[in-house]
Every structure is written in C-alpha cells, then in structure tokens.
Chain A
Amino acid sequence: MQTTGKPLIEMKHITKEFPGVKALSDVSIDIRPGEVHALVGENGAGKSTIIKILMGVYSKTSGDIYINGEKQDIKSPLHAQALGLGAVYQDVNLAQDLSVAENFFMGQLLTNKLGFVDHARMNKETRETLESIDVHVDPTAIIRTLSVAQQEMVTIGKIMHQNAKVVIFDEPTALLTNDETEQLFGIIDKLKKEGAGIIYISHRMEEIFNICDKATVLKDGTFVQTVNTKDTTEDELIAMMVGREVGNMYDIEHMTPGETVLKVDRISRGNAFRDVSFEVKKGEIFGMFGLVGSGRTEIVRSIFGADVKDCGTVTFLGKPADFTKPSQGIEASIALLPENRKEQGLALKLSVADNTNIVALHKISKAGIVSNKKGIAVAEEYCEKLKTKTPSVSQLVQNLSGGNQQKVVISKWLAQGSELFIFDEPTVGVDVGAKMEIYKLFESLIKEGKTLIIISSYLPEAMGLSDRLLVMYEGKQMGIIPRDEYDDEKILRLASGIEEKES
C-alpha cells in the first residue's frame, strides 16, 4: 500500500459559519493517495459541510485547503471538478432523460469535424470507461430506465472519466443490495490501487471497518480524532462519535405477544410479491427482511391501502381489511412510516407543527375549523416526548436533521393514535444517537400494547429488534423465522433466494 505519499488534499483549520451557527470549527484532515478515509459522526456533526466546502458548494469562513501541495480557493463545483475532485452523492445527480453517454459528457460534448455532436465517439469512450470498472450498461440507455444501483455506477464512471484524483462517496450503499455493494467495494478497491484518494461517508460501521484505512471522527462540528481503523473497534468509534459508551443498541425489552391482530392470507400484487401469508400478534415486533426490490415495501403498502393488491385477504383486529386507499388504513388505525421520508413522509416546506398534525387534523378541529393553538400544543407534546431537536415547532421540517425529521414522522402517527405501526427502513440516514432513541420508542410502543412491523435492509437491525422475521426474495416469501432460530448466514441465504425453509 502506498498510503505514505504526499497528501492529495490537506484541509487545515477549516471553520465554516452560517448566520448564527458554527457548522465547522477548526477541522483538519488530509487525504493521501491510495487511502480510503472514512468521515464519521452523527448527523449534524459536519460531514456534509466538509464535503460541500471541498466540492465548492460552500465557501469556507477561514482555514486553508491545499491540493497536491498547492493552496487553492475552491470557488465552484466546476472548479472542484477541474482540480480533480469528484463526488458520488446519496441521491443520484444525473439528467434522467438523457443517455448514459450524454451524462458522461455533459457540458463538454464531443464534436466531429463539422461541429456536430459525435455520438459514436462518446458512446465508445463511455463504454470503455464503464467496462474498466466492470459495469455493463449500454451507453445509449436512458438514465431513467436504469436501476438505482446502475445509476450510481454510472455516476462513478462519470467521475472516473473526468480523471478525478479524489472521489467522495456519501452514503453510497444506502440503496444498494449486497451484491451491488460488493461490486461497489470492488470499484473502490480498484480506485485505491490506482492511487486515488477516497473519502467515504457511511452510517454503517461494518462497511467502515471493511474498506476504510482511516477514520476521522467529527462531533458537533469539531474534530475529535483521526484513527487507523485496524487499531480501533466499532464500540470505540461509536463512543467517540456520541461522546460516551454505548451498549448493545438493539437491547430493548420485548413483550409476550397477545392475540393475533393482523392476518394476511395469500396476498399477491403483480410482479411485486405473490402468495404472501403471515400473522402478527399484539405487542409483537414483526420484522421483514429482504434486499431492495424483494417486495417488502410493496406488501406493507398493500396492507395499508397505498397500493391495491390483486388477490388474497387481510384481516385486522378481526375485521376484513382489504384497503384500497390510505385513508381506510388510517381509519382502521394502521400507521405507515414510508421508506423515503422526504418524498413520502413529510411536507418539507411546512412546519413541525403542521406535519405533526397532518394526519390527525380532525382531532384538533371542530366543524372543519382547525385550532392552531391545539396543534402547537400537540406538536410540543410530541417534540418533548420524542426529544425532537428543533428551535420551535414552527420551524420548517426541511431545516431539521434526518433523525429529527424521522421523529416528526413518528409524531404524526402517535398523534393519530394508531394500533399497528409499520416502519419501513426507519433508521436510514439517521445517526447513532437518534437511532437509539427510536429503538427506545419502539420499546415504549409495544409496552403500550401497540404492534410493530419493521422493515430493514440492515440485518443486524432486523435481527436485533424483531421477535420473528419474514424473509423475502424477489417477491417470494422465503420463510418466517422465530427469534431463537436466528442465524445470520441462514437468513442471508434465504434473502438471496438460495434455500427454502422446510416445514
């Protein structure tokens, strides 16, 4: 390994102030060639601020940045690109209606002698770059038709094509399946061997220990420590991030399940899932595990009424519950906390109070007239109960961090007073501290006699929290495993469609 070379990037004493807030204070980091450098910290610790300063999105308030030993003032994203910096963000940044090759050459389309766009040459170069990282995507394919993983690989290819010397990955695996994650790690390894510097942001600890050489820990905008990953442990790293020792996060009290509340009998919907049956008991945490696209989300959406299933029956609290509209599910006291909270869970431009009361508006209204005073009181009550960090309940939700946004989504269903809570990927993009608080909340919900269905793509979380686990593979129900038979290898095999559970 050649991690001893001269730093590609040195950030020295970087401080960034926003009006009234110090987002970063005296943070120094350097990235060397052939090094995968993790940036870890809770949401709001300042990871994305650093990235945005590097990529020319924000300008720093003070401090110096050296690139290849030369002092640089990064003025714009274009400038950052010219300096050899590239970033792969969580939400893909490609023109959805253009082809792969057109995205590769955006802003610098190749032309032939007559000055017209030379598609043939662009397609050829694109194919070469993509094949060099083992990505097999047709350069003429329209981005919209590609899977999320393919789009992410295309983004990486685009950055490599720009000859980036430093590549930043911001939560790159959040939407990838296991195989795709492996492929991504292969690409990162290749970049590393070619001497590129890599900055890697992830909330998933095992990834950091798997592929990163170093980790820089940030907390509340300040630098904590840079450590070699082989000299530390997961627990130590988490302790540095939150500033205290953390026990087993998943260690919550479970209830003895009561009578059956939800009975799902042989439901199917198109290609999404077929012939799925299970029962959930009162006070239970019923887990659903499977890779992205395995049909978990679609099943719960059909139960809730967000999608309409083709056949099969659902019974909830002893009554038929074949819903065709979300409002029916809500009336039957089912709550769905969707996978993508920004796109499906929240009205970002509205306040915390408005979002908290969005479902249960009728509860704070009389004859169709809303009492804003009551609405604020309800919102304040749940902010306190869930320890939501917000200056006030009139703050716009878009200004909150991921964990606090998720708490607002939870609040709106608590305000409605649901019996069955379906959490679809409740902790994606949520930091460790907020995660633990959300798990504690699960505990208090089942203690109150509520029932939970939790979907997770993260196996330790799925196994750690649930009483039983339904495993899905490509729309097919692979088995329901009780807690005392949990075995991560077996579950992963099932989720990959390898082995059918007997009995």
Chain B
Amino acid sequence: MEENNKVVEKKKGMVLFKKGFKTEMLLVLILAILFIFFSIASPVFFKVDTLMKLLKQASIYGIIAIGMVYVITSSGIDLSVGSVVGLSGVIVSMAMTSGWGIVPATLIALVASALVGMFNGVLIFNANVPPFIATLSSMTIVRNMILLITGAKTISGLPEAFTGIASGSILGVPNLFLCWLAIILISLFISKKTIFGRNMYAYGSNKEAARLSGINTRMTVYGVYVYSAVLCGIAGILLTSRLGNGVPTSGDGYEVDAIAAAVVGGASMDGGVGSVIGTVLGATIMAMLRQGGTLLGINSFIMEIIISSLIAVAVIIDMLRKRGK
C-alpha cells in the first residue's frame, strides 16, 4: 500500500516539478483557471468593464513590481517603493497647483523619485548598508518628509487634463494599461538585451565573481535602485491622476504587493533569478483575485489574507521545484 502511494505521489509531482516546466507556464495556467472560475462564479466578471477595471488595478501595482524584480534580481530589496509613490504623487500635485504645467510637474516628480533611488544606491553600495535596512530607513524618511511638506493634508484642485490621463483610453484600451505595457516592453528589453541588464543578473548571482569579471558593480547597484524609484515615480503620478488628488499617505504598503508579485513570478530572494514576464503575471493574478473576490462578495480582509499567503505558497513551490531537480 505504502509503496503504491509513493509512486502515485511521484507521478502527480512530475508535471509541476519537471525540468523545463517554467514558472511562467505555471502562472499562465493559474491565471487561466482563476479566469474561468470567476467567469462561471460571477455573472459580471466576464464583461469589458470589469476586465478593464482589472487591468487598471493591475497596472499601477504592476509597474512598481517590475522595479522590484530588478532590485530582487540584483540580490537586493526595495522597501521604499510605497513612499516613493507617495512622494512623486505629492510633488506632481504641488507643482501643478502652484501653476506648473503637466510636463514639467511630471519631470520634477520623476527627478525627486530618482534621487531617492540614488540615495538607496549610495547607502547600499558605498556605505555597505544591507538593502533591507537602507530602504527601510529611506521608506520612513521619505514618508515623513511627505507628511512634513504637505502638513499631512490632501492636495486637491488638480487640472482636468491631468486627472483625465488615468481615466482615459485609446481605442478602448485604458491609458494606465498602455503605460504599463510600454514599461513591460522596455523593462523586458533592458533585462534581456542590454549590458546593464545582463550585469544585473551576474551581480545578483555572485557579486565577487561579477567584480572580478570587470563588471561595473557600482553602476549596476545604482541602476537598479534608480530604475525602481523612477518606476515608482511614474506609478505615483498615475495613481494621483486616478485619485484626482495628491494624497500624502498614498502608496503605503505597496512594497508588500510588489515583493509578492516578483516572488510569485519566480524571483529568488537570493538574487540572480527574476523574470519581468513572471512578475507581470504575478501582479495580474493578484489583481484578478482582488477583483474576483470583490465581485463574489468575499470579505476583503479574508481576500488580503489569501493574497498575502500567496507569497509563502510561491516560495514553497519554488523550494519544492528546486528539490525536485
């Protein structure tokens, strides 16, 4: 009896843990199952409106998650993402309410975001502060700076041209999603095809080997943290446009979602492994769970518990797959 059970177990394991069965394929499978399940369970799920809403929701989280997967691939972590989202949103709002145009306001918000990324990079590379600590500290510093400059007050009165960005669409495709798509394509290209991208993997896999191979480790570290921060800056601007106001607490807690999307997408916290596509799928799965859960009237606290458990489940699956090899 026992022998038989073992054999069955092995066979069941085969598909999931077989070599060559990539994380991405598994995620597409999960996504398809969820999609079919929600379409059957809720009459309104499979409707253009709902799906567009889902894409919009996935987009902002998804943009941040892509920056996060870069950082994680380089064997770091960026806890400051949520604060940078807030910072960029508040700066773009303040600039516009004091009479700046949309373009210069956006640019100054992105520059401010990049500076936070640079600050992280300098702390981590030059001062040798562990990424967790460095970004934990910048997360708190930035968040309190936001509260200080705004007096913790929401900034309203943003021009309609700006608030229209997030609600608008081109040929029925939401602008938010188009932004995300552009960022996905650019990030995919950078990670796969540029020297910077390949160095990021090498550095994340083995820092000393990368240094001894002549890789510019300084630019790699600065690069990933600045890239992450700039993407957060973009996400912050889009979020502000969507909210219609500059909200000082916006972005709070986003680091959890971003890390979850990256890890669910197959990134290894040890560095060296991370996939833009996997992360995009991870972010979409999470958005779909939220959306579907809301439609089915599942208690939102329960929904958050489920989504957060995903991180642990993803890591467990990852460990099992490694052992399977």
**Which positions in A face B, CB cutoff 8 Å?**
19, 304, 306, 326-327, 329-331, 336, 338, 343-350, 354, 357-359, 361-362, 365, 368-370, 372, 412
Contact of A327 among B201, B209, B214, B268 (CB under 8 A): B214
Contact A369 B214 (CB under 8 A): no
Q: Least Cβ distance of B322 to chain A in Å?
A: 11
Contact B208 A344 (CB under 8 A): yes
Contact A361 B201 (CB under 8 A): no
Shortest Cβ-Cβ A-B pairs, 7 listed: A347-B205, A349-B272, A330-B214, A327-B214, A349-B205, A347-B206, A359-B213
With A347-B206, A370-B193 as known contacts, state yes or no: A361 contacts B212, CB within 8 Å.
no
Contact of A350 among B202, B208, B214 (CB under 8 A): B202
Residue numbers in B under 8 Å from A304 (CB-CB): 212
Residue numbers in A under 8 Å from B212 (CB-CB): 304, 306, 326, 336, 338, 344-345
Contact A358 B193 (CB under 8 A): no
B306-323 interface bits toward A, Cβ cutoff 8 Å, 1 = contact, 0 = none? 000000000000000000
Q: Least Cβ distance of A137 to chain B in Å?
A: 28
B210 at the interface (CB under 8 A from A): yes
Total number of B residues with any Cβ neighbor in A under 8 Å: 26
B211 at the interface (CB under 8 A from A): yes
**In this complex, what residue of B is CB-closest to A409?**
B209
A347-B209, A350-B205 given. 17 additional CB < 8 A pairs?
Answer: A304-B212, A306-B211, A326-B211, A326-B212, A326-B213, A330-B214, A336-B212, A344-B212, A354-B201, A357-B198, A359-B214, A362-B195, A368-B195, A369-B194, A369-B195, A370-B194, A372-B192
What are 15 A-to-B residue pairs whose CB atoms are below 8 Å? A326-B211, A326-B212, A330-B213, A343-B209, A344-B206, A345-B212, A349-B268, A349-B273, A350-B202, A358-B210, A365-B195, A368-B194, A368-B195, A369-B195, A370-B193
- The main secondary structure of chain B at its interface with chain A is helix
**In this complex, what residue of A is CB-closest to B197?**
A370
Q: State in angstroms the CA–CA spacing of A343 and B198 once bound together.
A: 19
Contact A326 B214 (CB under 8 A): yes
Q: State in angstroms the CA–CA spacing of A348 and B196 once bound together.
A: 19
Of residues 10 through 68 on chain B, the ones whose CB sits less than 8 Å from some CB of chain A are 18-19
Which of B197, B209, B213: most chain A Cβ within 10 A?
B213
Contact B194 A327 (CB under 8 A): no
B228 at the interface (CB under 8 A from A): no
Contact B202 A347 (CB under 8 A): yes
B215 at the interface (CB under 8 A from A): yes
Of residues 214 through 240 on chain B, the ones whose CB sits less than 8 Å from some CB of chain A are 214-216
Residue numbers in B under 8 Å from A346 (CB-CB): 206, 209
Contact B213 A412 (CB under 8 A): yes
